[in-house]
Amino acid sequence: MPDPAAVGPSMIQIGNEAGLLPTPAVLVSRPVSYRYDRQDPTVLNVDGHALLLAPAERADVVVDFSTVPPGGTLILYNDCPAPLPRFDPRYDLHTGTPDRTGEGGGPGTRPGYGPNTRTLLQIRVAGTPAEPYDLARLTDRLAAAYAASQRPPIVPQPAYDRAFGTRTARETLVPVHATSVTFTPAGAGAPVTLPLAVKAVDQIFEPEHGRSTGRLGVGHPHAGPLGPATLPLGPADPATEIILAADPTVPVGAPADGTQLWRISGHGRQTQPVHLAGCDVQVVNRVGWDGAVRPPEPNELGWKETVRVNPREDVIVALRPVPPTLPFKISDSVRLLDPIRPRTRTGATPLSPVDGRPAVVVNQAGQPGLGVPLAQPAGRPPGPGNEPPAGAAGLPQGAHRADRHPGPGLGHRRAGDHAGLDGQRQPPAGHQPPARAGHQRHLHRGHHPDHRGGHRHPVHRRHRHPPA
């Protein structure tokens, strides 16, 4: 552990992976700390840190070196545990690490060589010290730049008032077990109430690959005190999230509006980063399973593309997709749910996430915009005479799909291309989908293409002076 007396300057974060922040977040260089209240369900989760980055998170930071004397040296040091928050010494790599090959780790790190997950960067300061950085000026200008480049938040919060010149009476915080959220959108004269969809991040064991992996699932249709609360879904399961990209001029909560609010519940034993590419989200708040509500951290304000989901804690996010203006057309892409399996079946979850009934997913690809019977209840093979009722399956012409790629410690979504109906489960007889205008994004689960097994390292960065 570095000497606390040799702590370096703070980092001032002004942006993240989705753009600018509404106000600077001053991150004081300090060691990682944890929650030690054993009556708290989130015990041992990370409670204090400097710059904490999970996979796919990014940060734009400003560092003021005016307090560092010329010729001084700084070290960008990482003391974040991997996996987060559970610590496995086999992933803690630095000079002097013992040989852990007998327990599945590495042979150790020799001085002057890698790998090294602690010492990341050396900064040598030279020249004449300048005047200290004007944080007040940065705060004023960043708020104006944020308002000029970013959309207003879906759920108004006082933290955005400075940027947009609004006045929010109170902060909207979603409690535990809530099923809906009521708030007054910016510019609206009356409050709206939107349902809160349940999602979940869990870890399951993949026997085909011999590893534990993070999966993004949904609330179990038969959830109750004696049953499972969530249903983990895998890469061969049909999409369960249909996201409507509507006209941004449509008011929030209107029939043609695509705003959704999700409660993403952390059921795993480690923090899982959920990455949604092509659809930024607003972090509304976190709530522990004991009911303790925690507002977003200062560098989680603004729009986010990646959200950390901690163990035994729920994250409330709001999303409202806005279709971008493109100078080209996105072509259709029709492919199998699982291209490495035969066209007959997939390794999908044997339960329908809609009603909890047994179901078999057929590994087929439908034509864009057509309702094709690609899934049947168990014991009912697909074929003539077993077609679903008219309108029972299918998406409107021009449906979009986005692929979801979870890996160990990772729930990842990547914006996909124009697609039709892939592996749609057959809904109950007589079900009619709602007629909704606009474009839709069809989110689909899949493996991360770059994953080679093992844990990805979260990074907790802070500056320090090296010991003399």
Residue 249: the pLDDT is 87
Please report, rounded to a whole number, the percentage of residues in the chain having pLDDT higher than 70: 76
φ, ψ for residue 259 (rounded to 5)?
-65, 135
Tens digits of residue pLDDT in 397-446: 333 333 333 333 333 333 322 222 233 344 444 444 433 333 333 343 43
Tens digits of residue pLDDT in 273-325: 999 877 899 999 999 999 999 999 999 999 999 999 999 999 999 999 887 78
CA 303 to CA 153: how far, in whole Å?
A: 8
Q: Answer positive or negative: Cα dihedral of 350, 353, 357, 363.
A: negative
User: Contact 228/220 with Cβ under 8 angstroms?
Assistant: yes
In a domain, 62, yes or no: yes
Tens digits of residue pLDDT in 107-165: 999 988 889 999 999 999 999 988 999 999 999 999 999 999 999 999 999 999 999 99
* Long-range contacts formed by 450-456: CB under 8 A, 24+ apart: 451/405, 451/407, 451/408, 451/410, 453/209, 453/211, 453/408, 454/408, 455/82, 455/83, 455/88, 455/91, 455/408, 455/409, 456/55, 456/82, 456/407, 456/408, 456/409, 456/410
Check pLDDT > 70 for residue 238: yes
For the chain, the average pLDDT equals 78
In a domain, 122, yes or no: yes
**295 against 395, higher pLDDT:** 295
The arithmetic mean of pLDDT across residues 35-49, rounded, is: 92
Tens digits of residue pLDDT in 246-273: 788 899 989 889 999 999 999 988 999 9
106, 107, 108, 113: CA torsion to nearest 10: -100
**90 against 245, higher pLDDT:** 90
Domains in the chain, number: 1
Please tell me the total number of residues recorded for the chain in this structure: 468
User: Contact 407/454 with Cβ under 8 angstroms?
Assistant: no
In a domain, 57, yes or no: yes
* HEC secondary structure over 297-351: CHHHCCCECEEEECCCEEEEEEECCCCCCCCCCCCEECCCCCCCCCCCCCCCCCE
User: Contact 268/212 with Cβ under 8 angstroms?
Assistant: no
Residue 3: the pLDDT is 76
Residues 263-273 as b/e (b if ≥16 CB within 10 A, e otherwise) read: bbbbbbebbbb
HSE, CB side, 13 Å, CA atoms: give it for residue 71: 0
In a domain, 408, yes or no: no
- Cis preceding-peptide flag for 55 (omega within 30 of 0): no
Please report, rounded to a whole number, the percentage of residues in the chain having pLDDT higher than 90: 49
In a domain, 63, yes or no: yes
In a domain, 412, yes or no: no
In a domain, 16, yes or no: yes
What type of residue sits at position 310? N
Which of the residue ranges 236-240, 353-357, 360-364 has the most confident prediction, judged by mean pLDDT? Answer: 353-357
Q: How confident is the model at residue 460 (pLDDT cuts 50, 70, 90)?
A: low
Which of the residue ranges 146-160, 373-387, 454-468 has the most confident prediction, judged by mean pLDDT? Answer: 146-160
CA distances from 204 to 124, 337, 404, 415, 421 (A): 45, 20, 16, 25, 27
Helix or strand run (H / E) with residue 164: helix 161-164
* Lookup result for tokens 């070196």: 65
In a domain, 358, yes or no: no
Full domain range(s) for residue 124: 4-136+454-464
200, β-bridge pairs: 217, 265
